Structure 1
Amino acid sequence: MPARRRWVAVTIPLVVLAVAGLLRLVDLGHIDRIQFDESYYANDAHALVERGVEIERPAHPPVGKWVLAAGIAMLGFDPVGWRIGSAVAGTAMVLATYGAGLLLLRDRWLAAAAALLVAVDGLAITTSRIAMLDAVLALFVSLALLLLLRHHRLRARAPVTGRFTPAGPELWLAGVALGLAVGTKWSAAPMLAVAVVLVGWTEVRRRRPGRGVGRAVLEGGVATVLPLVVVPVTVYLASYGGFLLNYTDSKVYEQRCPELDCEASVSERVAGLVFHHRDLYRMHRELEHTHPYRSSAPTWPILQRPVLSYLERCPTTDDTPCVVPEGTTARVVMVGNPALWWTMLAALPLVAWQVVRRRDRALIGVLALAASLYVPWLGLGRGYLFYLAPLVPFAALALVAGTRSLPGRAAKVAPWAVLAVAVALLGFLFPIWYGIPLDADATDARLLLDSWR
């Protein structure tokens, strides 16, 4: 590789990483108290550091909370400590998007445009600056996407031989990433299922020439099931190591043994883990659906109903001392960058044309994986717009991929034009993504839709 191209290959991802890190890490402790669902996840993560298991009834598996716990262990139980895990995960997710873009788009500059769109997205920023699980989930999902695309590229180039060829390290690592994703939130399970189908079909299909159907299915199944079923299940179960080791400190032990004097045998700990999963499923099934910021999944991509995660105003409504200047309001609105989301929706016909014209299997796979993270919510009632956080990389990649269908020079200019608008909106919406105090008129100007209020 010529020296200039090598310099570009190194510089672009470093710039992308620097931009993402700057937007997520600077003044991370600005809001110096627990905000929104940090009351659950920051405290759960602190309990993991102190006791190895959550004290209260947990709402999700432990992987994401262990990431938050790592920050607390290093920096202490303060706003920066409990948020640094999310911030680092959100920053790394942008870099993973760049890597996935290289494999999907096969152009460094288009990959950079996609990654920078993620870097300046308000949903990606706000979920990275709060001690919640969504930025961590987005990291594991984007890493899985990167590794699956890498596996697809290598498999497409590999010759078909008469010998059995096991899965390469990329697929095993994708299994680890997917296990960590499901171990963060169960909402990643459909992506794991779709990945198994996509890879399994590809593995069987490429083995059929020169083999019998039975042998192709057997070999393709082995090459798929071991890395994408056995590995994720193993990773998921391993994430409960703290629960099993510290079972007597858990809420489950308290529920199963109110007197706290029961024998905690291995069988009892396993039974407690089963009980925990039944309880977790029951809790999500019976979850209250009347929260003011809950909204239906079809409205999420149009950013209709964002989530207000922080609010301070002066004068206050209860005569407590003000923490913002007189006559101002500070808020954090968890909402995406309209330049990304609204343009992505407009570009979907171009993406469909890409699929039809180019028969790009990699793009089809990306769209199928994205659908697996969104479509299930359509049948599950109402949720929160920030559930779209793992889909931000997919939205950016789909948008940039769609622009390749534009004629002539427009195909090269369009991604950067969208990015320019996104950066301008970042500058305008910055205060409501970072909790900067504004007067009433300035606040109203930034609440672009009535439903944002």
Structure 2
Amino acid sequence: MTRARLRSWWRPAPRLPRHQRDDGGEPLVRTGLRGFLALERRDVVAVVALVVVSLFLRFASPILPDFLSGSGGVNISGIGAATSNNSPPPECTDVPVGPPGKDSTGTVVTHTDVKRCGFIFDEIYFPVDAARDLRQPAESYFDPEPPLAKLLMAPPIATMGFTTWSWRVSTAIFGSLLVGVVYLLALRLRRDRWFAGLAALFVSLDGLAFVEARTGVIDIIAIFFVALFYYLFLLHWQARTRRQWRATLYLMALVAGLAFAAKLTALAPLVVAAALIVARGISPWLAGLVPAVRRIAGPRRHEVSMWRAAAGRVALVHYTLAILIGGAIFCASFSRYLTIPHTDVYRFTACEPGTTGLTGTADAIQVPTMKIGSATLPNPVQAIADISDVMAAGLQYHEQECHSHPYASRWYTWPIVYHPVLFYYVQTNAVLPDNPTVSSITDMGNPAVWWLSIPALLALVWRLSRGPPWWRLLVGLVGPASLATMIITFHAAQKPDTVSVRVSPGALFTAAFVGIILFAALITVSAVVSRRFVPAFIVLGYLTSWMLWVIGNERRVLFFYHALGMLIFAALAFAYVLAGLRNTVVQVRGRRISLAPVTWAATLAVVAGFIFFYPVWTAVPMPDTDHQMRLWVDAW
């Protein structure tokens, strides 16, 4: 019988330097900004290189046809499929933005004729709204999302004109910067550059992040701010002096306001941060009150004590001020929107499946001003009321919207990328009519990242549940059992003919969701009191980003790109496991076998997946047989 001994991948290798060990990501006290950030020159070089390479791929693609043809050229005519040859129609370049709102002949031009400008998917909304923000005289429009992402799209449009290039520049930049932030985020979790590099690489080479960064939509901008918030939260979590604690808190508030101003998906990181901060604040009391907590606690009381000492006695005052600052930043993002009189703030009250529109009325809001003597000044009270009205109308829109969509997908299918969105599709009959040339863009994720992250996340659940048998049993059963119950009851309750109508999953589904909340609470406790912060943080972030779209969204259409926040933690989980396997050795019959090649093989699988699916992410023309070969999931 063969006897083998496997050194667990989650335990640090004996000869690793102390600062690289998996000690929960908590650094020693470091003085000065440079010491606190703990960034070396090679880290800065790595971040810059990752961002530059990602930016090149997003701007220059598709580069595959010219490269393979041997022509020596690189196609950089556009960064998205405006037409089959990836360049915008000539008439689109003449659409003016800004004053005077007329074309070269003096004819007034609006942005309502969207069919002639090379839009793909939701680009018919967001770039148009960004251009309207630049117009003089102002144009009224209704948008159920906050305005910041559109404002960030506006400068390139104002500079370059209204073209497919200009309205995608901002998303390409923020999508590339996201890769660098993921590196910093991972490095803050563990002082392991393999881990950080792999996590950033996986995000850079994932199809969902890649397509979103090459399309004029708002999700990638919002997720950039979400990732930046998580990084600042880790800095705050690891603060050891009062100055560090307060500086990171107010930077968190600033970025939280920006994240909310881009899209309301910022709720997920705020829930994670609030849960962990509250749990850390009450952990000494909790450990003293509940003996079971002490049994799973690691030697981290000094870390909690240092953090609480850095917070001081007026911590609640600072958190209150931080919330107000975040709210002020959010309101400030409406500055341009509130200078435009709006007559189309829709109040939707009902929706019937199969009808052509929502039932509701349109309200009007005027520019919020007040008179003080002969002077006309902004009215901040009315401005806040108008912002509240606009956001309430947007939430009502999402609540009442119930129409079907061919590319809608259920939330429980996102981890396996079952039904992504087809952004663009053009078919032309070539020499062989039975095998036409096809160009398409789908936001399908890289299967090597999404599929392999599932067992990685399960391994992290096993890792964070280490402790007494009762603790491992509790954590290991509550989460998976509750999730399985939610999926089964939700799937059983939906109509068989479509995935887009409203679903009423029933009381058992609600009870299972309560079980998920309990599971998240157990993860939070594990993160705070044990030496399992890294896996607990990753699992908690993934779960929160996912469950954000479950309760309360049974009535609306959801799409795979709503899982973009999950991608960050899927990449972190996958990279965490691979970085651990790199230091794992198996002994079989006295032979030491390193599992480092597994890390290399998995990384090469991600790279190979990017190359293989690259054509359906960049609208590369190909025979339909080759196109069908790349549809590994239900893209239709």
TM bucket normalised to smaller: 0.7 to 0.9
The answer for the alignment partner of 2:254 in structure 1 is 176
The answer for the alignment partner of 1:161 in structure 2 is none
- Asked if the contact 1:204–1:220 (Cα under 8 Å) also holds between the matched residues in 2, the reply is no
The answer for the alignment partner of 1:321 in structure 2 is none
Paired residue total: 426
Partners of 1:263 and 1:295 in 2: CA distance: 40
* TM-score w.r.t. length of structure 2: 0.62
- Asked if the contact 1:199–1:224 (Cα under 8 Å) also holds between the matched residues in 2, the reply is no
- Asked if the contact 1:122–1:334 (Cα under 8 Å) also holds between the matched residues in 2, the reply is yes
Aligned with residue 42 of structure 1, among 112, 120, 127: 127
The answer for the alignment partner of 1:124 in structure 2 is 209
Letter in 2 for 1:285: E
Partners of 2:136 and 2:534 in 1: CA distance: 44
Shift of 1:363: 3.8
Shift of 1:108: 1.4
Q: 1:178 to 1:100 in 2, by over 3 A?
A: same
Partners of 1:46 and 1:340 in 2: CA distance: 36
Letter in 1 for 2:336: G
Unaligned runs of 5+ in 2: 1-33, 61-75, 83-87, 89-117, 286-300, 347-360, 371-378, 467-529, 586-592
SS of the aligned residue for 1:282 comes to: helix
Letter in 2 for 1:377: W
Shift of 1:174: 1.8
The answer for the alignment partner of 1:106 in structure 2 is 191
Shift of 1:193: 3.0
The answer for the alignment partner of 1:323 in structure 2 is none
The answer for the alignment partner of 1:96 in structure 2 is 181
Where do 1:16-415 residues align within 5 Å? 16-26=50-60, 27=76, 28-31=79-82, 32=88, 33-50=118-135, 55-155=140-240, 158=241, 167-203=245-281, 205=283, 219-227=314-322, 229-244=323-338, 246-248=339-341, 251-252=344-345, 255-257=362-364, 265=370, 266=379, 269-315=383-429, 327-357=436-466, 359-379=531-551, 380-381=553-554, 382-404=557-579, 406=581, 407-408=584-585, 412-415=596-599
Partners of 1:8 and 1:135 in 2: CA distance: 27
- Asked if the contact 1:354–1:405 (Cα under 8 Å) also holds between the matched residues in 2, the reply is no
Shift of 1:268: 5.2
- Rg bigger for which structure? 2
- Asked if the contact 1:373–1:391 (Cα under 8 Å) also holds between the matched residues in 2, the reply is yes
- Asked if the contact 1:196–1:225 (Cα under 8 Å) also holds between the matched residues in 2, the reply is no
Partners of 1:210 and 1:114 in 2: CA distance: 31
Partners of 2:457 and 2:254 in 1: CA distance: 31
* TM-score w.r.t. length of structure 1: 0.85
> What do residues 149-186 of structure 1 show as CA deviations (whole Å, max 9, x unaligned)?
1222234xx5xxxxx77833222222222211111111
Letter in 2 for 1:336: G
Unaligned runs of 5+ in 1: 159-163, 317-325
Shift of 1:203: 4.6
Letter in 1 for 2:249: L
RMSD: 3.2
- Asked if the contact 1:183–1:239 (Cα under 8 Å) also holds between the matched residues in 2, the reply is yes
Q: 1:400 to 1:54 in 2, by over 3 A?
A: farther
SS of the aligned residue for 2:422 comes to: strand
Partners of 2:396 and 2:594 in 1: CA distance: 51
The answer for the alignment partner of 2:105 in structure 1 is none
Letter in 2 for 1:181: A
Identical-pair percentage? 27
Give the number of the structure whose residues are more often helix, by fraction.
Answer: 1
The answer for the alignment partner of 1:320 in structure 2 is none
- Asked if the contact 1:138–1:391 (Cα under 8 Å) also holds between the matched residues in 2, the reply is no
Shift of 1:291: 0.7
Shift of 1:62: 0.4
Partners of 1:51 and 1:193 in 2: CA distance: 40
Partners of 2:368 and 2:177 in 1: CA distance: 43
Shift of 1:255: 4.3
2:598 corresponds to 1:441: no
Shift of 1:333: 0.5
Partners of 2:594 and 2:269 in 1: CA distance: 33
Partners of 1:210 and 1:116 in 2: CA distance: 36
> What do residues 252-275 of structure 1 show as CA deviations (whole Å, max 9, x unaligned)?
4994459x9x99643655443332
- Asked if the contact 1:405–1:411 (Cα under 8 Å) also holds between the matched residues in 2, the reply is no
SS of the aligned residue for 1:311 comes to: strand
Letter in 2 for 1:392: L
SS of the aligned residue for 2:314 comes to: helix
